């Protein structure tokens, strides 16, 4: 006799905003001509992204800007997918359209646990509507009260990723 057990595989996926999320606006304040030159490899971030593995970038920046940042930070091999403003048909986050386009582009499963890292609260609001786990990166500790649509707040990307990596996900099934 053969017993077939159907099971879903629940995966952790990590979607990152780029600007002021993957690097700190405190260290990279000015957007002058030296901005790209000053972006360097961040060893601690690199090591963490090797552990998370299923990484994606979702930015309102254009393709040129994104590629330049990723190249300078030496992160290219650490992301499975990229979504940027050239693909968004004239809309930008927090408009829902870039999120829909991004979900399709990354071929994410609705059963996946999507951790979404952002420095702009409004962008997380739309992410929460899609069921994403929302993480606010508050580099300057400006947030006084956490809105309901934000799950976690950290003042740096490292603690944020480490915490999400260590989270145990348990699936509870309704039984009757």
Q: How many residues bind Mg ion (CB under 5 A)?
A: 4
Least Cα distance to 132 among 162, 106, 158, 156 occurs for: 106
- When binding is defined by CB under 5 A, the residue of 119, 127, 134, 135 that contacts Mg ion is 119
Q: What angle do CA 103, 15, 95 make, to 5 degrees?
A: 55
What is the helix, strand, coil percentage profile of the chain, to 5?
Answer: 35, 15, 50
The contact pattern for Mg ion, residues 138-167, with x = CB under 5 A and - = no contact, is ------------------------------
42 binds Mg ion (CB under 5 A): no
Question: Residue 148 Cβ, how far from Mg ion at the closest point, in Å?
Answer: 21
Of the ranges 67-75, 87-95, 116-124, 128-136, which one interacts with Mg ion (CB under 5 A)?
116-124
> DSSP assignment of 99-149, as one string?
HHHHHHHHT--TTSEEEEEES-HHHHHHHHHTTPEEEEE-TT---SS--TT
Buried b / exposed e over 19-48, threshold 16 CB at 10 Å, is bbbbbbeeebeeeeeeeeeebeebeebeeb
Kind and range of the H or E element at 166? helix 157-166
For Mg ion, give the closer residue by CB, 62 or 109. 62
**β-bridge partners, 12:** 113
Closer residue to Mg ion in complex, CB, 11/153:
153
Which stretch in 25-33, 70-78, 89-97, 111-119 sits in contact with Mg ion by CB under 5 A?
111-119
CB 79 → Mg ion: shortest distance, Å? Answer: 16
Task: Check residue 17 for interaction with Mg ion (CB under 5 A).
Answer: yes
**Shortest separation between residue 103's beta carbon and Mg ion, angstroms:** 19
Q: How far is the CB of 140 from Mg ion (least distance, A)?
A: 13
Instruction: Answer for the pair 118, 21: CB distance below 8 angstroms, yes or no.
Output: yes
- Quick one: 48 or 121, whose CB is closer to Mg ion? 121
Binds Mg ion by CB under 5 A, chosen from 20, 67, 68, 162: 20
Which chain residues interact with Mg ion by CB under 5 A?
17, 19-20, 119
């Amino acid at each position: 006799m053969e017993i077939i057990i159907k099971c879903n595989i629940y995966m952790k996926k990590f979607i990152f905003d780029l600007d002021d999320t993957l690097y700190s606006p405190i260290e990279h304040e000015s957007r002058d001509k030296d901005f790209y030159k000053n972006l360097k490899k961040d060893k601690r971030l690199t090591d963490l992204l090797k552990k998370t593995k299923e990484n994606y970038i979702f930015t309102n920046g254009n393709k040129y800007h994104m590629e330049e940042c990723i190249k300078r930070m030496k992160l290219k091999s650490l992301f499975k997918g990229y979504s940027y403003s050239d693909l968004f048909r004239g809309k930008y986050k927090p408009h829902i359209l870039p999120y829909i386009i991004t979900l399709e582009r990354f071929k994410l499963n609705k059963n996946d646990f999507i951790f979404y890292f952002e420095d702009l609260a409004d962008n997380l609001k739309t992410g929460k509507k899609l069921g994403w786990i929302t993480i606010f990166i508050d580099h300057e500790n400006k947030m006084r009260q956490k809105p309901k649509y934000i799950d976690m707040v950290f003042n740096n990307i490292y603690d944020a990723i480490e915490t999400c990596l260590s989270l145990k996900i348990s699936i509870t099934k309704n039984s009757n």
